[in-house]
Amino acid sequence: MRALVIEALTAMQSEGVLPEGLDFKNVAVEPPRDALHGDMATNAAMVLAKPAKMKPRDIADVLAAKLMDDVRVEVAEVAGPGFLNMRLAANLWQGVVKAALVGGVDFGRSDMGAGKSANVEYVSANPTGPLHVGHCRGAVFGDALAGLLAYCGYDVTREYWVNDAGGQVDVLARSAYERYREANGLEFEVKEGLYPGDYLVPVGEALKEKFGDSFIDKPESDWLVTFRDITMEEMLRQIREDLEALNVNMQVWTSERSYYESGKIEKTLEELREMGLVYRGVLEPPKGKEPDGWEPREQTLFKATEYGDDVDRPVQKSDGGWTYFAPDLAYHYDKVKRGFDVIIDVFGADHGGYVKRMKAIVAALDTEKRVHFDIKLTQLVKLFKNGEPFKMSKRAGTFITLRDVIEQVGPDVTRFVMLTRRNDAPLDFDFDKVLEQSKDNPVFYVQYAHARVCSVLRKATDAGIVVDDATLAAADLTKLGSDAEITVAKKIAEWPRLVEIAGRTNEPHRVAFYLYELASELHSLWNKGNDDTSLRFIQEDDAETSQAKIALARSVAVVISAGLGILGVTPAQEMR
């Protein structure tokens, strides 16, 4: 459509109506918010009025006449300050239905990522226990984002950063040791600073199975490494299982420990040192909230302030060990070097403080300025049951694991609900409401629309009407003429554009909202069929008209299944 307008404008230039040398890049051609204004609108006249030194209306009038010459434009009229509204020929919308049927789930696929690669890192929870609901949103969001980018043509890598180094895995090992003692008949005591969760009980038993009582009362140095590796492996196995239950499948699991062992950290720092971005120095204490026992110490620091961070970040502790930041530095450098065009980190909102330093890292290390780096934060999930909020507490035993959620509501519902809000807004998750089978529940509403179409297809087949996609695509779609039907077709036409926007902004929730709107249009048409039998999909004794109408319904289902596919949700064939 835009090409059409630009073409007309160029013609106006060569005819001398418009001066030469105008920049058309601000000329937008898009569907207006209010459908009353037509199908397409352009701001060309207003944008060009100033540089062309002409009145917007004069430009618009000529442009309107030009566009009317095109067969695809039925009406072009000037409105308001200089908007140009176009009403398109009905066959254009009918063409959309056909395109959706021919394209199938690929209808709407964008090529914005063609030939590019993207890395999405998400979840990345410490392997010290099972995943809980807090991880769930990040998992779903990251996975849907990865799905969205894949739909936009990117070659996507889904990655999990495993924090298998540092103090917390030693704590894990000691916690498992306590359970191991318990398995050997000794009394279990909750020690300060250890993980009390009973998920380590089976691990303790397995350790007893394997080692008997040989490590009882032995010094920590005898068993720590062995216990740590075994326990961590078990935790990772559980995490993998949990994610699989949610239909999240990571392709790459990168170990933090491997960075310590391979010397990648040193290498990265060496390069940064050569760039003059690492130095020895002393940090100021944080303002306002001075920690107890603060004393200034000399540390190795990364010049994050050079790239927009608030303070320089320590990479080495005063005792010479690496801070958590050091492997992060090396890890992101590695991602840059692996050649990704797009790198996205998905963090929980409680890690919001890391955004600037991470961006500083990539800005410093991506010396060619080739990588598009983005960090998406997922806000908290508030849990409700029977309309009552309930808090998660490890001590009170109301620790809700991700597995609990999936077992209660299923992966499809969990995923969709988690995406019915912008990622940076808090989300309420009510166990009862998400399972409710009513219009109030967006998951149900969208699934129901898909199921209704499936039901039409089944009934049509029973009635002897041929309804495979190829036949439907070839149906006489000029029979789709009513406003109600065209409205649905227009919604379908929005799909490719929506994918583009969602992909560009890295916001998969837009897909979920769109699907709700599309479902709404289908339900609305369906309801109109209650009163007006000519709007029903199956017209008795008229296979041709039926096929045209079913083609429209089917194209809705095609788009719904493509959209749900991006979100990682399975479309329902029928509601039970």
Site for RNA in 492-511 (CB under 7 A): 497, 501, 504-505, 507, 509-510
CA angle 185, 189, 195 (to 5 degrees): 115
Near RNA by CB under 7 A: residue from 80, 281, 339, 389: 80
Per rule CB under 7 A, is residue 540 in the interface with RNA?
no
| Parallel/antiparallel/unpaired status of strands 381-385 and 155-162 | unpaired
Per rule CB under 7 A, is residue 129 in the interface with RNA?
no
Q: Which residue bears the tokens 């790198």?
A: 343
Nearest distance from C-beta of residue 321 to RNA, angstroms: 7
By beta-carbon proximity to RNA, the closer residue of 244 and 574 is: 574
Near RNA by CB under 7 A: residue from 34, 192, 462, 483: 34
Per rule CB under 7 A, is residue 570 in the interface with RNA?
no
Nearest distance from C-beta of residue 502 to RNA, angstroms: 9
Would you give the end-to-end CA distance of the chain in angstroms? Answer: 43
String of contacts with RNA for each residue 311-340, x by CB under 7 A: ---x--xxx-x-xx----------------
Q: Among candidates 330, 338, 300, which has minimal Cα distance to 316?
A: 300
Per rule CB under 7 A, is residue 523 in the interface with RNA?
yes
Measured distance CA(80)–CA(90) in Å, rounded = 25
| Parallel/antiparallel/unpaired status of strands 117-121 and 155-162 | parallel
Measured distance CA(190)–CA(201) in Å, rounded = 13
Measured distance CA(203)–CA(167) in Å, rounded = 19
382, 389 Cβ separation under 8 angstroms? yes
* Collapsed DSSP state (helix, strand, coil) of residue 357: helix
Other CB atoms within a 10 A radius of the CB of residue 126 amount to 16
In this structure, the chain runs to a length of 576
Q: How far is residue 24 CA from its own chain's centroid?
A: 33
Nearest distance from C-beta of residue 298 to RNA, angstroms: 8
Near RNA by CB under 7 A: residue from 353, 387, 397, 464: 353
Nearest distance from C-beta of residue 371 to RNA, angstroms: 20
Near RNA by CB under 7 A: residue from 93, 259, 373, 537: 537
* Collapsed DSSP state (helix, strand, coil) of residue 55: coil
Per rule CB under 7 A, is residue 388 in the interface with RNA?
no
Per rule CB under 7 A, is residue 463 in the interface with RNA?
no
Near RNA by CB under 7 A: residue from 24, 211, 384, 513: 513
Site for RNA in 189-228 (CB under 7 A): none
By beta-carbon proximity to RNA, the closer residue of 183 and 235 is: 235
Per rule CB under 7 A, is residue 10 in the interface with RNA?
no
By beta-carbon proximity to RNA, the closer residue of 46 and 183 is: 46
Q: Among candidates 350, 373, 364, which has minimal Cα distance to 309?
A: 364
String of contacts with RNA for each residue 287-306, x by CB under 7 A: xxx-x-xxxxx-x-------
Per rule CB under 7 A, is residue 281 in the interface with RNA?
no
